[in-house]
């Protein structure tokens, strides 16, 4: 590496890569070479920057200018204007949804301003494929300290004092888990990194692995020394090729530098890891199922206790932690437990990475201090709800999490508050919903997911979730009967209590939490046969307002089943018998005309198309 006057940090996380980051990077390099700037300007590929929705992203340092949604065609202008003439290009910058002026500097963009980076501290800053860059930002210093200056007891005491809890879902204290494993007599012992990440819509762990794979490796070596393990496994689903590739490079370079393998840093300590590719079923993320999968068996959970710390992989004591948990470890050892414990709330320390998706302006990956209010995440970082719609709920904790309604937007985000509100931290998926979301429909969606992913081992989970899904589907179809709500609740508690693993124990959560906060919406479906959010197809209809329709033909052309009749400049009419309620006409009718309306609980008036009426005007 040489001294350059500018570094262009091109995001090469999965999100940006899928919308062309590598092409942008190639174009940048070519243009820079063509302009004879190759010696002055360095192009670096980094891991996910978080603001994936705005990809491809390039950050220019030291100026801190944030460019977004770049295309190959933008590159010559960007190089000419910014890098040669020093005039940053406003057109390629980010403009907040409610604003017209762009915000040039990354540090000033709301999405980034409220974040606090520990786990993702190297995101968008280092090239994850160059071990030297990780080392430049204090990488492997904590490991060196743990190997040469600390006893296993001291390492565990430090992690315990930090208050770090597992980021994979349940939030078990990490220090305690390590200590249980350390105290086991049997040897060998194993370490596992859980990178299964089966939650739909979640990509926290993938991003950590892509942006900073060495942080995970360093965390594992520190734990290996604490519990005296010599071998570790990193379980990643096969759908994450970029994460696997970066991790593979990281492992090989760490070995080459003597930071993994035999006699690490000359300390006499040996530890090595290997990657295991998972098939990617949701249940294989459950720790006992994951262990079975590494052993080459079918990924089905088994009874606990014994816990993996006592009897895990091949019956040996095993410490299993989540990707994000591992990535927290180096900072805690390097900067000390007190520093970490100074962040967050009484019971939840440090930060948490969330993937913010759904009906929200700024979707992406965010890392925030524990205890931050939900409102700050949704409105300040997330930039609020698009299209002038109203916020309705946020679903937290993945498929088995719960929905938190508007009234609770003030809720501090920590393990206990979320659980009390009927949701859970889970691995960090956050799905924002607006007023056009039907809560019955949402509960059904998540329940179907868990039902399909149930391994079928226990009856309450296998049969109970199916029965619940049937009742919900009935309600959504307008066939709900009095007593359905009570039946759902009863089933939910049976499934929760009678299931063997966390999947069954939490699967009813979406139903229970939507019943808790949106019971009226269930009642409307059952008693009035209406869907207040106008989503459930059997309970809605589309109608054209003859007063508003200008006869532009747009809806007619959009309708896939020719259910609309009409002629140019004549009022159009929907034939309710033919309509399949796809909503294409609703979307097609220009917003400022708004002649198509979505109705629930009433049918559109039976009209004759104007063109065929006896009297024409």
Ligand X SMILES: Cc1cc2nc3c(=O)[nH]c(=O)nc-3n(C[C@H](O)[C@H](O)[C@H](O)COP(=O)(O)O)c2cc1C
Q: Which residues pair with 193 in a beta bridge?
A: 234, 321
549 binds ligand SF4 (CB under 6 A): yes
Among the listed ranges 8-16, 218-226, 321-329, 504-512, the one in contact with ligand FES (CB under 6 A) is 8-16
Q: How far is the CB of 1 from other proteins (least distance, A)?
A: 5
Q: Which does 595 bind (CB under 5 to 8 A by kind): ligand X, ligand FES, ligand SF4, none?
A: ligand SF4
256 binds other proteins (CB under 8 A): yes
Do residues 301 and 288 make contact, with C-beta atoms less than 8 angstroms apart?
yes
Cα distances from 278 to residues 272, 319, 577, in angstroms, run: 19, 18, 48
For the window 33-72, what string marks contact with other proteins as x by the rule CB under 8 A? Answer: ------xx--------------------xxxx--------
555 binds ligand SF4 (CB under 6 A): yes
Q: What interhelical angle do 204-211 and 323-335 show, nearest 10?
A: 50
Do residues 368 and 116 make contact, with C-beta atoms less than 8 angstroms apart?
yes
- Determine the straight-line distance between the first and last CA of the chain, rounded to whole angstroms: 78
Do residues 447 and 509 make contact, with C-beta atoms less than 8 angstroms apart?
no
Count CB atoms within 10 A of the CB of residue 412.
Answer: 16
Token pair for 213: 């794979």
Q: How far is the CB of 424 from ligand X (least distance, A)?
A: 11
Q: Which does 1 bind (CB under 5 to 8 A by kind): ligand X, other proteins, ligand SF4, none?
A: other proteins
Q: How far is the CB of 595 from ligand SF4 (least distance, A)?
A: 4
Is 302 exposed, middle or buried (CB count within 10 Å of its CB: 0-12, 13-18, 19+)?
Answer: middle
- Of 405, 484, 411, whose CA–CA distance to 444 is shortest? 484
Q: Which does 194 bind (CB under 5 to 8 A by kind): ligand SF4, other proteins, ligand X, none?
A: ligand X
Q: How far is the CB of 346 from ligand SF4 (least distance, A)?
A: 32
* 20: region left, alpha or beta (phi > 0 left; psi from -120 to 50 alpha): left
Q: Candidates 13, 139, 398, 604: give the one binding other proteins (CB under 8 A).
A: 139
Cα distances from 449 to residues 83, 399, 401, 431, 466, in angstroms, run: 49, 7, 12, 15, 11
Alpha-carbon gap, residue 481 to 281, rounded angstroms: 35
Alpha helices in 427-533 (DSSP H): 439-453, 459, 465-476, 484-498, 502-506, 509-523
100 binds other proteins (CB under 8 A): no
Among the listed ranges 20-28, 36-44, 168-176, 340-348, the one in contact with ligand X (CB under 6 A) is 168-176
Count CB atoms within 10 A of the CB of residue 268.
Answer: 10
Do residues 201 and 357 make contact, with C-beta atoms less than 8 angstroms apart?
yes
Q: Candidates 49, 351, 395, 509: give the one binding ligand FES (CB under 6 A).
A: 49
Where are any strands of DSSP class E within 467-574?
540-544, 564-565, 573-574
84 binds other proteins (CB under 8 A): yes
Identify the three-state secondary structure at position 358. Answer: strand
- Of 195, 189, 156, 400, whose CA–CA distance to 287 is shortest? 195
CA angle 248, 252, 257 (to 5 degrees): 145
Compute the residue count for the chain: 617
Cα distances from 436 to residues 115, 564, 602, in angstroms, run: 29, 24, 18
Q: How far is the CB of 398 from ligand X (least distance, A)?
A: 8
Q: Which does 564 bind (CB under 5 to 8 A by kind): ligand X, ligand SF4, other proteins, none?
A: ligand SF4
125 binds other proteins (CB under 8 A): yes
Looking at the Cβ atoms of 14 and 253, the one nearer to ligand X is: 14
Alpha-carbon gap, residue 494 to 299, rounded angstroms: 24
CA angle 117, 338, 153 (to 5 degrees): 110
301 binds ligand SF4 (CB under 6 A): yes
Looking at the Cβ atoms of 355 and 454, the one nearer to ligand FES is: 355
Alpha-carbon gap, residue 195 to 205, rounded angstroms: 6
For the window 427-456, what string marks contact with ligand SF4 as x by the rule CB under 6 A? Answer: ---------------------------xxx
Site for ligand SF4, residues 457 to 516, rule: CB under 6 A: 457-458, 461-462, 499-501, 503-504
Q: Which does 266 bind (CB under 5 to 8 A by kind): ligand X, other proteins, ligand FES, none?
A: other proteins
91 binds other proteins (CB under 8 A): no
Size of the site for other proteins (CB under 8 A): 43
285 binds ligand X (CB under 6 A): yes
Identify the three-state secondary structure at position 322. Answer: strand
128 binds other proteins (CB under 8 A): no
Token pair for 90: 């406003």
Q: How far is the CB of 286 from ligand SF4 (least distance, A)?
A: 7
Q: How far is the CB of 359 from ligand SF4 (least distance, A)?
A: 21
355 binds ligand X (CB under 6 A): no
CA angle 301, 459, 510 (to 5 degrees): 80
Among the listed ranges 72-80, 188-196, 371-379, 554-562, the one in contact with ligand SF4 (CB under 6 A) is 554-562
Q: Which residues pair with 43 in a beta bridge?
A: 8
Among the listed ranges 86-94, 351-359, 518-526, 553-561, the one in contact with other proteins (CB under 8 A) is 86-94
Alpha-carbon gap, residue 617 to 615, rounded angstroms: 7
55 binds ligand FES (CB under 6 A): yes
323 binds ligand SF4 (CB under 6 A): no
563 binds ligand SF4 (CB under 6 A): yes
Name the CA dihedral angle for 8, 12, 17, 21, rounded to a multiple of 10 degrees: 10
362 binds ligand FES (CB under 6 A): no
503 binds ligand X (CB under 6 A): yes
- Of 300, 298, 255, whose CA–CA distance to 275 is shortest? 255
Q: Which does 499 bind (CB under 5 to 8 A by kind): ligand SF4, other proteins, ligand FES, none?
A: ligand SF4
233 binds other proteins (CB under 8 A): no
Q: How far is the CB of 277 from ligand X (least distance, A)?
A: 14
Phi, psi of 103 (to 5 degrees): -105, 105
Site for ligand X, residues 297 to 326, rule: CB under 6 A: 320-322, 325
Identify the three-state secondary structure at position 223. Answer: helix
Interface residues with ligand FES (CB under 6 A) are 11, 13-16, 48-52, 55, 57
The binding site for ligand SF4 (CB under 6 A) comprises 283, 301, 454-458, 461-462, 499-501, 503-504, 542, 544, 549-555, 558-559, 561, 563-564, 566, 572, 574, 579-585, 588-589, 593, 595-596
Binding site for ligand X (CB under 6 A): 166-170, 172, 194, 196-198, 282-283, 285-287, 320-322, 325, 427, 501-503
Binding site for other proteins (CB under 8 A): 1-7, 9, 39-40, 61-64, 82-88, 90, 104, 125-126, 132-133, 135-141, 144, 148, 256-259, 263, 265-266
């Amino acid at each position: 590496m040489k001294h350059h006057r500018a570094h262009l940090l091109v995001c090469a996380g999965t999100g940006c890569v899928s919308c062309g980051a590598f092409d942008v990077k190639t174009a940048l390099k070519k243009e820079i070479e063509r302009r004879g700037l190759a010696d002055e300007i360095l192009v670096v590929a980094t891991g996910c920057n978080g603001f994936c929705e705005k990809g491809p992203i390039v950050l220019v340092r030291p100026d801190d200018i944030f460019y977004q949604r770049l295309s190959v065609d933008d590159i010559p202008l960007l190089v000419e204007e910014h890098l040669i003439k020093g005039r940053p290009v406003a057109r390629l910058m980010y403009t907040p949804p409610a604003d017209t002026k762009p915000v040039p500097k990354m540090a000033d963009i709301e999405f980034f301003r409220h974040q606090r980076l520990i786990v993702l501290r190297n995101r968008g800053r280092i090239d994850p494929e160059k071990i030297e860059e990780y080392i430049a930002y204090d990488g492997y210093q904590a490991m060196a300290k743990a190997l040469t200056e600390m006893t296993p007891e001291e390492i565990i005491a430090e992690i315990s004092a930090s208050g770090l809890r597992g980021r994979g879902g349940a939030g078990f204290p990490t220090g305690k888990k390590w200590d249980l494993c350390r105290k086991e007599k049997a040897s060998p012992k194993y370490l596992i990194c859980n990178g299964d990440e089966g939650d739909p819509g979640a990509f926290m762990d993938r991003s950590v692995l892509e942006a900073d794979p060495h942080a995970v490796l360093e965390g594992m070596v520190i734990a290996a020394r604490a519990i005296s393990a010599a071998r570790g496994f990193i379980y990643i689903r096969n759908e994450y090729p970029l994460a696997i590739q970066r991790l593979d490079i990281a492992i090989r370079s760490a070995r080459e530098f003597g930071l993994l393998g035999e006699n690490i840093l000359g300390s006499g300590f040996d530890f090595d890891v290997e990657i295991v590719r998972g098939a990617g079923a949701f249940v294989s993320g459950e720790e006992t199922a994951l262990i079975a999968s590494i052993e080459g068996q079918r990924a089905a959970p088994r009874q606990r206790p014994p816990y993996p710390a006592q009897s895990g992989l091949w019956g040996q004591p095993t410490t299993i932690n989540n990707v994000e948990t591992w990535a927290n470890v180096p900072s805690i050892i390097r900067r000390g437990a007190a520093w970490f414990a100074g962040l967050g709330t009484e019971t939840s320390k440090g930060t948490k990475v969330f993937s913010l998706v759904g009906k929200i302006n700024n979707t992406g990956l965010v890392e925030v201090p524990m205890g931050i209010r939900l409102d700050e995440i949704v409105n300040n970082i997330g930039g609020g709800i698009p299209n002038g719609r109203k916020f309705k709920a946020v679903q937290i904790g993945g498929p088995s999490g719960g929905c938190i309604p508007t009234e609770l937007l003030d809720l501090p985000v920590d393990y206990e508050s979320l659980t009390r509100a009927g949701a859970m931290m889970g691995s960090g998926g956050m799905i924002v919903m607006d007023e056009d979301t039907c809560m019955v429909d949402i509960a059904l969606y998540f329940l179907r997911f868990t039902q399909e992913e149930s391994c079928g081992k226990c009856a309450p989970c296998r049969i109970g979730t199916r029965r619940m899904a049937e009742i919900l589907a009935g309600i959504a179809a307008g066939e709900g009967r009095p007593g359905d709500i009570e039946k759902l609740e009863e089933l939910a508690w049976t499934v929760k209590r009678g299931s063997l693993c966390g999947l069954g124990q939490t699967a009813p959560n979406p139903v229970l939490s939507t019943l808790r906060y949106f019971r009226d919406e269930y009642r409307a479906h059952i008693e009035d046969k209406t869907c207040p959010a106008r989503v459930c197809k059997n309970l809605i209809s589309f109608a054209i307002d003859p007063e508003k329709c200008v006869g532009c033909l747009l809806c007619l052309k959009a309708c896939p089943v020719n259910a609309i009749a009409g002629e140019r400049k004549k009022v159009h009419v929907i034939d309710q018998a033919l309509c399949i309620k796809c909503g294409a006409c609703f979307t097609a009718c220009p917003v400022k005309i708004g002649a198509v309306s979505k109705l629930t609980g009433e049918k559109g008036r039976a009209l004759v198309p104007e063109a065929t009426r006896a009297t024409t005007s």
